[in-house]
Structure 1
Amino acid sequence: MRIIAVDDEDLALEGCMNAIKKADPTAVVDGFTSGKEALERIGEIEPQIAFLDVEMRTENGVNIAKMLQEKNPRINIIFVTGYSEYMKEAFELYASGYILKPVTAAKVKAEFEHLRFPIATQAKPKVTKLRVHTFGEFEVFTENGVPLDFVYSKTRELLAVLIDANGAMRTFDQIMERIWQDEDDAGSHRSYMRNLFADMTRIFAECGCSEALIRRRGEAGINKNYFDCDYFDFLDGKRNDSGFTGEYMNQYSWAEPTLGKLFQLSDGLW
């Protein structure tokens, strides 16, 4: 499915997109902080579903929905809001659904099952996963155990930073401060970082997991559904089976604070 989400609050938008991806890991989701930008891209994206915040600071989700429907009468509109009083107006517009915040995967799944314009079901393709080892040296492998062949060594470190974030988004400035932490002007590497993202995008596409990288304006993250990772397993409670023995991303000094947290969480396990 092709889906767009519109919310002018970054955290709310991120939460909505994460809930959608948990509800359907195969969905392609584009997020926008303005309806104007979403409308400009609708012809390119051709979304089948739109999640719209009703009340934004300078825009109204109902008005955005009307304009989306003018461009695509069969688009499924799902309103997202913290105020139930908008429900009547939403259904007068023949919306597909209505979600009261907070948005959760369970609420999204329920809306997927009652779309106004059903989407033809297709056999869900198997999600290709990359294998990531963080305990000890940081390494990344294909499902067949072949190390990923990045053009730049810094691309591997870029991925390490995103893995360390545990699915949270990181701004480009935060990423550069990690990778070039010993330099006074880490921000001067912005053009080089674009090459790193291009390298990562290329190899993810070659591995069949193009959607593993999430990029929005000024920030990036990873979709955890595309990774088998010992660090993620540890945080999910599988601590005895994770293989943690007191080492974490040994080649990166910026990873030491996370190592300290892992020690605290593993107290008494070994």
Structure 2
Amino acid sequence: MRIIAVDDEDLALEGCINAIKKTEPDATVEGFTSGKKAIEKAEDIKPQVAFLDVEMRTDNGIDVAKQLQEKNPKINIIFVTGYSDYMQEAFAIYASGYIMKPVTAAKVKAELEHLRFPVEEDAEQHTNKLKVHTFGEFEVFTPDGVPLDFVYSKTRELLAVLIDANGAMRTFNQIMEKIWQDEDDAGSHRSYMRNLFADMTRIFAEHNCSEALIRRRGEAAINKAFFDCDYFDFLDGKKAETGFVGEYMNQYSWAEPTLGKLVQLSDDIW
């Protein structure tokens, strides 16, 4: 599911996105503090659901909704607001739903379960999955089993950090502190990390997995729907099938805390 959220208040936007991710962890979620920017990016993202703050400082959510509907008449619009005054106007444009702030996972879940227009799953999310091995050495392969050819070795480690996060967002600072954990000033590599993201974006696009990487201001995550991963399978309860024998991303020392958790979870199958 491709979802966008628009709110000009950073904390409110973050709260909305977190609630969406708790409800739909496999969804691609993009956040915007500007309705204009959301409309510009809609052509590329092709959102199926939009959570829109009704009244913003520079935008009106009703107007943003109308412009999104011009691009896709079957987009599900869910208005988010602290006021009930706009409810009649919202439903006049055939909105899918209406949430009163604060946004919670329960409220989001209720709206996503009753969308006006059915959301069709993207076939590519299920047929073009990248294969990821984390138990032992970390490796990434194309759907045909060919190792991904990243320009930088650190790009592979960047992906490893995002895989380790299990679909959760990680700030750029958190990522750099892992990749360059032995350096006193890990933050000095911010410009280099942009090259790593560009490398990852390029190779994902080459393999029809452009939406596998989720980025927003200062943060990044992966869309788990694009990966066939032993670590994800293990966490989903398929422990015995994964062949876990106490090894996890052996080449990365920062992965040791996760290894400890996996060993603890494995007690019931050993």
Q: In the TM superposition, what are the counterparts of 1:1-270 in structure 2 within 5 Å?
A: 4-7=4-7, 8-16=12-20, 19=23, 22=26, 30-32=30-32, 34=33, 37-46=34-43, 49-54=49-54, 59=57, 63-69=60-66, 74=73, 76=75, 78-81=77-80, 85=84, 88-100=87-99, 101-102=104-105, 103-104=107-108, 107-111=111-115, 114-115=116-117, 124-125=123-124, 127-270=127-270
**Displacement after TM superposition at 1:82 (Å):** 8.2
> Structure 1: how far apart are the matches of 2:89 and 2:22?
23
Q: How well do the aligned residues superpose, as a CA RMSD in angstroms?
A: 3.2
Taking a change above 3 Å as real, the CA distance of residues 44 and 68 of structure 1, as seen in their structure-2 partners, is: same
SS of the residue corresponding to residue 140 of structure 1 reads strand
CA distance in 1, matches of 2:211, 2:177: 25
Amino acid corresponding to residue 181 of structure 1 in structure 2: Q
Secondary structure, in 3 states, of the residue corresponding to 1:266?
helix
- TM-score when normalising by structure 2: 0.80
C-alpha deviation, 1:160, in angstroms: 0.3
Deviation at 1:97, TM superposition (A): 1.5
Against the structure 1 CA distance between its residues 98 and 132, is the aligned structure 2 distance closer, same or farther, given a 3 Å change threshold? same
Q: Distance in 2 between matches of 1:245 and 1:195?
A: 35
Q: CA deviation at 1:31?
A: 1.8
Q: What per-residue deviation string (whole Å, max 9, x for no partner) do you get for residues 188-224 of structure 1?
A: 1011101111111111111111110001010100000
Q: Give 3-state SS (helix, strand or coil) of 1:110's partner.
A: coil
Letter in structure 1 aligned against 2:93: Y
Q: State, as a whole percentage, how many aligned pairs show the same letter.
A: 57
Deviation at 1:43? Answer: 3.7
Q: Is the 8 A contact 2:155 2:197 kept in 1?
A: yes
1:247–1:43: structure 2 CA closer, same or farther, 3 Å change rule? closer
**Matched residue type, 1:225:** A
Q: How many residues align?
A: 255
Counterpart contact for 2:42–2:68, Cα < 8 Å: no
CA drift of 1:251 comes to 0.3
What secondary structure does 2:238 align onto?
A: coil
The residue matched to 1:241 in structure 2 has which SS? helix
Q: TM-score, normalised by structure 1?
A: 0.80
TM-aligned CA distance change 1:266 to 1:250, over 3 Å: same
Query: Which one-letter code corresponds to 1:97 in the other structure?
Result: S
Q: Separation in 2 of the partners of 1:92 and 1:202?
A: 41
For residues 147 and 263 of structure 1, the distance between their equivalents in structure 2, rounded to whole angstroms, comes to 27
Structure 1, 246-255 or 91-100: larger mean CA deviation:
91-100
The structural deviation recorded for 1:110 is 2.7
SS state of the match for residue 9, structure 1?
helix
- RCO comparison, higher one (Cα < 8 Å, 6+): 2
**Preserved CA contact (<8 Å) 1:157 1:179:** yes
